[in-house]
Structure 1
Amino acid sequence: MDKICISADSTFDMTPEMAERYEIKVIPSYVRMDETDYFDYPDIKQEALFEYYSQTKKLPQTAAANPMEYEKFFIECLAGHDSVVHIAKSAWMSCCYENAMIAAQKLKNVYVVDSTTISGGSALLALETVKQKEFLDAIDLQEHLFDFREKISGSFIVETVEYLHEGGRCSTLTYFGASAMQIKPSLIIRDGRLSVGKKYMGSYRRCLRDYIESTLLPLEENERDILVVAHAIQDEALLNFAIGQIEGKHYFKEICKMKIGAAVACHGGPNVFGVFLIKK
């Protein structure tokens, strides 16, 4: 059986400790604040992004690694391995996948998988890759992941549309309307793209409660393996409230909590909260 190296774009939002535990190699993207570029992983914390925006009213800019950087990264991954299976951020959301493919075509035995998702969804795909790599060679593993990614469901709820507005993802009219009416929209990941889902009204605590209830309502009451929560909740009490609501359902053997990285934080803003799971 091939000795496979699993790698991923940093936008899968696993902590460095988790990535090390599962032996996943991570390639960072970039965050630009003023004229300085930083690695988004593991250098920049979400709090620094929010503080920058609060002080300057300018969104940090994000950028993928370029093809040459991917090529160098894959060569390093191949050292001591027969092949590489790389989990990329959705091709509809970034050029990460495109740049990784350009690099992979110059090398042998590098297999890139468009996760068609981001954050906790990409993390679930990476975990499945780790689970199956002992039983499948790299080509079969890639094919398995093409099927498995269709089972991953993910969405977010945002407290404010201000960051979406500043990033050009919602109109000024929508921004003022949502702010005036206390509307908190959900963002659903479907076919690799983000689209607006159900809208909630009222305090964020109430909207968060209703979002969780609505998201988990279709699930059967039999226990599932894992749910990933990817978030930028700044208030620990609010996070505990949300996690407690999920735990109270007794649907999942494990609830994995991850702080979102720059790619989601720069658009979702403080207190964005996402839920990712594997559909039966």
Structure 2
Amino acid sequence: MALVTDSTAELGLERAAGLGVTVVPLQVVVGDESYQEGAPEVTPERIAEALRHKRPVSTSRAAPAHFAELYARLAEEGAGSILSVHVSSQVSGTFESAQAGARQAPVPVRCLDSRQIGPATGFATEAAAAVLADGGSLDDAYDAALARAAACRTLLYVDTLEYLRRGGRVSNAAALFGGALAVKPLLGVEDGLIVPVARVRTSVKAIARLQALAVEAAGEQRVEVFVAHLAATERAEAFAASLAEELGERLVGDVRCREIGAVLGAHVGPGMLATCIAPVLT
């Protein structure tokens, strides 16, 4: 069996390769030029710089034909079935493309809408990989990925909702939530959608509130944690260290802290700080 995800899962190529996961890159469009995520022309740093200078930046899903070709190649390489785990269909057409490609595949392909965004999709994919590595079935892997995605809590702070509004990832009404009186918005992912969670007056208070919400999401469970940022390395590292200290023995392994890829970065803007709390279910 083969396992596929997309680049918004933030697994990183090295980690994905170690898990036996094939990553489908989404597209980033800067000005009139389109690139696959991961291309040297569209590093997160370059995306942040383009956004600061108000250059047009947008993203697009991988085409159904790309998925069809990938599934056919995996079948040729010996896969008898494929599980394809993707970013929420509420914010991206990637899952739809995967489904269209699956209909042309020479082997059974089961596509999973994680109803999540970013690292939570990655945690779901890892759960599926663990099941397959233990000899589990495709259905078992699907169920494990779905359960892990549903258990994850994704929270994020953005300096402004303008980038999400431009890309249609939040409504104008939600954008007003963050724009009124220059408050700093905290957001979450619920049922695949980006939704407002809280409004805080300053960035310092917003990040403190973000940590409090993350600890609340963890509860008494053992959890894995991912901290992501765009052009905010020091802020992210300090936040990760503080969160790890507060979680204490509930934290499994180290907090994963990294800059997000260009596709997600194009929608959140410089200064974004996010965390994903992933309860360990087994």
TM (norm. structure 1) is 0.88
Partner residue, 2:191: 191
Structure 1, gaps ≥5 residues long: none
Encode CA deviations 1:104-154: one digit per residue, 9 max, x unaligned: 122222111111111111011011011111231113322333333321221
Q: Given that residues 205 and 238 in structure 1 are in contact (C-alpha distance below 8 angstroms), is that contact kept between their aligned partners in structure 2?
A: no
Structure 2, gaps ≥5 residues long: none
Secondary structure at 1:18's aligned position in 2?
Answer: helix
Amino acid at match of 2:224: I
RMSD: 2.3
Cα–Cα, structure 1 residues 170 and 81, in superposed 2: closer, same or farther, change >3 Å? Answer: closer
Deviation at 1:174, TM superposition (A): 5.3
Which of 243, 248, 251 pairs up with 2:245?
248
Structure 1 Cα separation of the partners of residues 263 and 28 of structure 2: 9
Secondary structure at 1:82's aligned position in 2?
Answer: coil
Partner residue, 2:108: 109
> Mapping of 1:60-139 within 5 angstroms?
60-78=57-75, 79-107=77-105, 108-133=107-132, 134-139=134-139
Structure 2 Cα separation of the partners of residues 99 and 174 of structure 1: 28
Cα–Cα, structure 1 residues 209 and 24, in superposed 2: closer, same or farther, change >3 Å? Answer: same
Encode CA deviations 1:82-119: one digit per residue, 9 max, x unaligned: 22111111111111001100111222221111111111
Deviation at 1:218, TM superposition (A): 4.6
Amino acid at match of 1:237: E
Encode CA deviations 1:12-60: one digit per residue, 9 max, x unaligned: 11222221222211111111112111001354211111212223x2441
> In the alignment, does 2:233 pair up with 1:236?
yes
Amino acid at match of 1:100: A
Cα–Cα, structure 1 residues 209 and 110, in superposed 2: closer, same or farther, change >3 Å? Answer: same
Partner residue, 1:14: 11
Secondary structure at 2:79's aligned position in 1?
Answer: coil
How many residue pairs get aligned? The number is 272
Structure 1 Cα separation of the partners of residues 268 and 163 of structure 2: 6
Structure 2 Cα separation of the partners of residues 149 and 115 of structure 1: 6
Deviates more, 1:132-141 or 1:31-40: 132-141
Amino acid at match of 2:70: F
Deviation at 1:76, TM superposition (A): 2.1
Cα–Cα, structure 1 residues 217 and 164, in superposed 2: closer, same or farther, change >3 Å? Answer: same
Cα–Cα, structure 1 residues 146 and 210, in superposed 2: closer, same or farther, change >3 Å? Answer: closer
Amino acid at match of 1:239: A
Cα–Cα, structure 1 residues 52 and 141, in superposed 2: closer, same or farther, change >3 Å? Answer: same
> In the alignment, does 2:266 pair up with 1:262?
no
Structure 2 Cα separation of the partners of residues 245 and 182 of structure 1: 26
Structure 2 Cα separation of the partners of residues 207 and 272 of structure 1: 11
Cα–Cα, structure 1 residues 74 and 221, in superposed 2: closer, same or farther, change >3 Å? Answer: same
Cα–Cα, structure 1 residues 147 and 166, in superposed 2: closer, same or farther, change >3 Å? Answer: closer
Cα–Cα, structure 1 residues 220 and 235, in superposed 2: closer, same or farther, change >3 Å? Answer: closer
Cα–Cα, structure 1 residues 217 and 139, in superposed 2: closer, same or farther, change >3 Å? Answer: closer
Q: Which has the higher helix share?
A: 2
Structure 2 Cα separation of the partners of residues 47 and 195 of structure 1: 26
Structure 1 Cα separation of the partners of residues 74 and 156 of structure 2: 32
Identity of aligned residues (%): 19
